[in-house]
Amino acid sequence: MTDGLGNLRLWGYDDRVAGSAEEGARVGRVVQVDRGECDVVTAAGMVRAGSDSVRAQAETAPVTGDWVQVTSRHEVLIGRVLPRLTALTRRDPAERDAEQVLAANFDIVGIVAGLDRPLPPGRFERMLVMARDSGAAIVILLTKADRAPDAAAASETVRAVAGDVDVVTLSARRGVGLDDLRSRLGPGRTLALVGASGSGKSTLVNALAGAEVAATAKVRSSDRRGRH
């Protein structure tokens, strides 16, 4: 931890990232994207970075989770987006063949579904396909077990559809299943959550963090990072 990168390692910086960056480049990880600007965590702390103005249209636009090279002459800019190790993508509904990348470089993707309502037919399978395509490990997270009349039976139904994918039943309210999920994470590992609005993603993030880091309950149309 004497190389000044100790902090970045907690954000997932490792030899694979180091190996894909140019010699001497200042590397950081995009933790949030909004209105064409990004919050990027670097060894020196968090910086607000614009996308490089000379970036060609065809070049990769940064998404949450990307490792990037930043330059700072007059303002901090994102130069190169490093090759993605994993990515959640979906077809752009407007452009039939264009793929939209939602998030990158997570180790695990959690498909979140609330046990307080029936699984949306088709949607669950689509999320499973998206997760399989991402290249990351997958876990199905069944939330709100305290709201299900028979959580065990509901979990069994999901297991039948899920095949070899692990299923964890949780209740953020009662603290059930959190240790199981925590044991799959750890320093430097990144979890991406996908799931319908209201399925309990933000509540889960807050329960894991032990702090109110994500707003819950209200549906926010302007904020769909890493979601589906």
Ligand X SMILES: Nc1nc2c(ncn2[C@@H]2O[C@H](COP(=O)(O)OP(=O)(O)OP(=O)(O)O)[C@@H](O)[C@H]2O)c(=O)[nH]1
Burial zone of 47 (CB within 10 Å; 0-12 exposed, 13-18 middle, 19+ buried): middle
Contact 65, 37 (CB under 8 A): no
173 touches ligand X by CB under 6 A? yes
By a kind-dependent CB cut-off of 5 to 8 A, residue 64 interacts, out of Mg ion, ligand X, none, with none
Contact 192, 109 (CB under 8 A): yes
User: Which tokens in the block code for residue 48?
Assistant: 């607000």
Residue selected from 197, 209, 212, 213 as contacting ligand X according to rule CB under 6 A: 197
169 touches ligand X by CB under 6 A? no
32 touches ligand X by CB under 6 A? no
State which of positions 135-164 bind ligand X (CB under 6 A): 143-144, 146-147
203 touches Mg ion by CB under 5 A? no
| CB-nearer residue toward ligand X: 6 or 175 | 175
User: Which tokens in the block code for residue 197?
Assistant: 């609005």
Contact 71, 81 (CB under 8 A): no
| CB-nearer residue toward ligand X: 157 or 197 | 197
By a kind-dependent CB cut-off of 5 to 8 A, residue 198 interacts, out of Mg ion, ligand X, none, with ligand X
Tokens 């309950």, residue located = 217
CA distance 67 to 69: 7
Residue selected from 109, 155, 202, 207 as contacting Mg ion according to rule CB under 5 A: 202
| CB-nearer residue toward ligand X: 87 or 142 | 142
From 19-27, 59-67, 100-108, 200-208, span contacting ligand X (CB under 6 A): 200-208
Cα 205 to Cα 87, 147, 171, 216: the distances in Å are 20, 19, 12, 10
| Amino acid found at 181 | L
The footprint of ligand X (CB under 6 A) covers 143-144, 146-147, 171-173, 195, 197-203, 216-217, 219, 227
